[in-house]
């Protein structure tokens, strides 16, 4: 009844949690759900064709049913529809062709528009049971209710991939259905490869509390060791909401660097790692959920597309933002909510230029020199290195991480020189080179571009004499550096001379950093630049 690719089973509401709802209301409600569900499917990805085919039987048929939950193995073609299938297609290379429509996977169905994963409450059938069309196979718990999932095909339940009590994301294979007994062995092998293959994605399901992020270390840190827990290789500590977000946005929590108290991973860290703009604190989870089903490429972009814009000039072309451009756009719009102000300062660079000539052969770049100088000045003015996260408090950062804005083919990224005040000039230069290479190769890890506490932007090499930077969200200040140019100066005694002067202009968050603070910081910075010996120490 379905196409070959089509779904093979549909979940049916059981007389369980929801069965008490009077039928009319209920079916209305579920039809609505259905509607949303299909709408979201067809919006979400190019694959909607298949789902549209599915939709018709559901709607003509008055039975309440949702998405496909079973589909034959020739998955790759519908792969884009389900994020998880990439794992699957990697793991089962081309066997697919040979077993076409004989061995079918039972999928975790999407039982509601907000469901991202489901828990197997129980398997109604066990391995080896013969199934006939319409029979309940498994009971799945969604975020809303428990539902029975029925099969659309006759066959034998060859293997259970996801056991009772376990959780699987929507679209993941939870069991294997074989058409005849002969295929059971083959199906089992497939199931084995499946569960093997699903190990890479195992970490997300694991955070089912309790087991959460407990690799092995706990045993090696028994009670008496507790006081020393803070030192040494520590385990990842993430807050409950951070874990939820990580799971939702498929962020590997182990790869995130925590910026919260005691180095714990906060929801903001996960959002930053997922490339989302930090949502306001206290916003319900539901708000965040909405962005998730969209295809990753256009995830953050969608939002601000006001319909009141004038019609485009005829002949113009519309090029959608890349992910990076969308992130920039989002950050820029967000920066408007911060009250900023700017203070400029002329700095004499003769001594710095002389030093640069000396250390250049050793691979030191001007960026490294400026970053080092800024970091040393920040060490004396921790306020300028702080940030205002919630509009109510100062967050003093323990590290001085200088983010440096870099233009790369049509985008902008800010690789971060971590602990720039502690590393020496040569290490810093080397580090910078690595970062730039990584940035070009698009291989920067999240913490390598989002852990900055102060940003440096230099347009001096273009001959720009002064400019004005926008403060990136989450930081207290950004420094815009212009070109160093020979300038006639009159000193206190009235003597004229020509000195190289460069204008720096710092934009800061006035909620936490006031004019005098910034001025004092700039004074220190200029002293360091004018007496740059300390930079090489």
* Interface ranges with another protein (CB under 8 A): 17-22, 25-26, 29, 143-144, 209-210, 212, 214, 218-219, 221-223, 226-227, 229-230, 237, 239-241, 243-244, 260-262, 264, 267, 280-287
Distance of alpha carbon 285 from alpha carbon 34, whole angstroms = 22
Is 282 or 316 the residue whose CB approaches another protein more closely?
282
Is 48 or 221 the residue whose CB approaches another protein more closely?
221
Q: Is 218 exposed, middle or buried (0-12, 13-18, 19+ CB in 10 A)?
A: exposed
Q: Across the chain, which distance is largest between two alpha carbons, in Å?
A: 102
How far apart are CB 332 and another protein at their closest, in Å? Answer: 22
How far apart are CB 195 and another protein at their closest, in Å? Answer: 25
Is 19 or 497 the residue whose CB approaches another protein more closely?
19
Dihedral sign for Cα atoms in the order 276, 282, 285, 287: negative
Is 212 or 257 the residue whose CB approaches another protein more closely?
212
- Nearest Cα neighbor of 187 from 146, 159, 211 is 159
Is 194 or 243 the residue whose CB approaches another protein more closely?
243
Residue 332 phi/psi, 5-degree rounding, is -65, -45
- Nearest Cα neighbor of 149 from 183, 115, 182, 181 is 115
How far apart are CB 114 and another protein at their closest, in Å? Answer: 9
How far apart are CB 305 and another protein at their closest, in Å? Answer: 19
Residue 111: DSSP 8-state = -
How far apart are CB 295 and another protein at their closest, in Å? Answer: 23
The residues that bridge with 432 in the sheet, in sequence order, are none
Is 252 or 424 the residue whose CB approaches another protein more closely?
252
Whole-Å CA distances, 60 to 4, 33, 50, 55: 20, 16, 17, 9
Within 10 A of 301 (CB to CB), how many other CB atoms are there? 18
Is 225 or 427 the residue whose CB approaches another protein more closely?
225
Beta strands of 277-401 (E only): which ranges?
A: 340-348
How far apart are CB 13 and another protein at their closest, in Å? Answer: 13
Distance of alpha carbon 376 from alpha carbon 425, whole angstroms = 11
Using DSSP's 3-state secondary structure scheme, residue 131 falls into: strand
How far apart are CB 240 and another protein at their closest, in Å? Answer: 4
Judge whether 381 and 523 are in contact, CB under 8 Å.
Answer: no
Is 234 or 510 the residue whose CB approaches another protein more closely?
234
Is 296 or 391 the residue whose CB approaches another protein more closely?
391
Judge whether 153 and 135 are in contact, CB under 8 Å.
Answer: no
Reported residue count of the chain is 537
Tokens of 345: 């300062």
Which one of the listed residues 29, 36, 249, 510 is annotated catalytic? 510
Residues 6 or more apart from 461 whose CB is under 8 A from it?
A: 483
The whole-angstrom distance between residue 487's C-alpha and the CA centroid of its chain comes to 47
Residues 6 or more apart from 173 whose CB is under 8 A from it?
A: 88, 105, 106, 107, 108, 161, 162, 194
How far apart are CB 511 and another protein at their closest, in Å? Answer: 16
510 catalytic per annotation: yes
How far apart are CB 36 and another protein at their closest, in Å? Answer: 13
Task: Write the Ramachandran bin of 210: left for phi over 0, alpha for psi from -120 to 50, otherwise beta.
Answer: left
Using DSSP's 3-state secondary structure scheme, residue 21 falls into: coil
Distance of alpha carbon 494 from alpha carbon 429, whole angstroms = 40
Q: Catalytic residue numbers?
A: 510
């Amino acid at each position: 009844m379905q196409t070959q690719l089509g779904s093979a089973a549909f979940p049916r509401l059981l007389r369980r949690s929801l069965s008490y709802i009077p039928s009319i209301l209920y079916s209305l409600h579920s039809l609505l759900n259905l509607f949303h569900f299909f709408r979201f499917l067809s919006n979400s990805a190019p694959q909607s064709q298949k789902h549209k085919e599915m939709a018709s039987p559901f709607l003509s048929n008055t039975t309440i049913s949702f998405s496909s939950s079973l589909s034959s193995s020739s998955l790759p073609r519908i792969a884009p529809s389900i994020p998880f299938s990439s794992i699957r297609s990697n793991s089962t290379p081309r066997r697919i062709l040979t077993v076409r429509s004989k061995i079918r996977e039972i999928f975790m169905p999407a039982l509601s528009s907000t469901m991202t994963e489901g828990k197997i409450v129980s398997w109604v059938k066990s391995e080896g049971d013969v199934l006939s069309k319409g029979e309940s196979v498994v009971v799945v718990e969604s975020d809303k209710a428990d539902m029975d999932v029925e099969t659309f095909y006759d066959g034998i339940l060859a293997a259970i991939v996801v056991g009772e009590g376990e959780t699987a994301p929507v679209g993941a294979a939870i069991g294997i259905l074989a058409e005849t007994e002969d295929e059971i062995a083959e199906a089992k092998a497939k199931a084995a490869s499946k569960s093997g293959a699903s190990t890479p994605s195992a970490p997300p399901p694991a955070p089912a509390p309790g087991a959460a992020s407990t690799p092995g270390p706990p045993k090696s840190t028994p009670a008496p060791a507790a006081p020393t827990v803070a030192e040494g290789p520590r385990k990842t500590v993430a807050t409950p909401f951070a874990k939820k977000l990580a799971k939702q946005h498929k962020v590997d929590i182990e790869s995130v660097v925590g910026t919260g108290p005691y180095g714990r991973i906060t929801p903001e860290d996960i959002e930053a790692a997922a490339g989302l703009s930090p949502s306001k604190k206290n916003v319900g989870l539901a708000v965040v959920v909405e962005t998730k089903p969209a295809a990753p490429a256009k995830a953050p972009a969608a939002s601000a597309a006001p319909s009141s814009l004038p019609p485009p000039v005829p002949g113009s072309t519309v090029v959608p933002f890349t992910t990076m451009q969308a992130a920039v756009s989002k950050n820029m719009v967000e920066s408007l909510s911060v009250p900023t102000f700017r203070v400029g300062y002329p700095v004499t660079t003769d001594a710095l230029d002389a030093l640069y000539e000396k250390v250049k052969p050793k691979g030191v770049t001007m960026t490294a020199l400026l970053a080092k100088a800024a970091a040393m000045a920040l060490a004396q003015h921790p306020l300028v290195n702080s940030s205002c996260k919630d509009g109510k408090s100062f967050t003093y950062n323990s590290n001085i991480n200088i983010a440096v804005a870099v233009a790369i083919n049509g985008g902008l990224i800010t690789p971060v020189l971590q602990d720039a005040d502690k590393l020496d000039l040569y290490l810093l230069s080397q580090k910078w080179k690595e970062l730039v290479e990584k940035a070009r190769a698009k291989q920067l890890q999240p913490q390598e571009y989002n852990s900055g506490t102060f940003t440096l932007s230099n347009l001096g090499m273009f001959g720009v004499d002064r400019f004005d930077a926008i403060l990136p969200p989450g930081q207290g200040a950004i420094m815009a550096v212009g070109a160093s140019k020979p300038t006639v100066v009159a000193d206190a005694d009235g003597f004229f001379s020509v000195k190289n002067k460069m204008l720096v202009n710092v934009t800061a968050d006035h909620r936490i950093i006031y004019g005098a603070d910034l001025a004092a910081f700039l004074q220190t910075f200029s002293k360091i630049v004018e007496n740059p010996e300390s930079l090489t120490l």
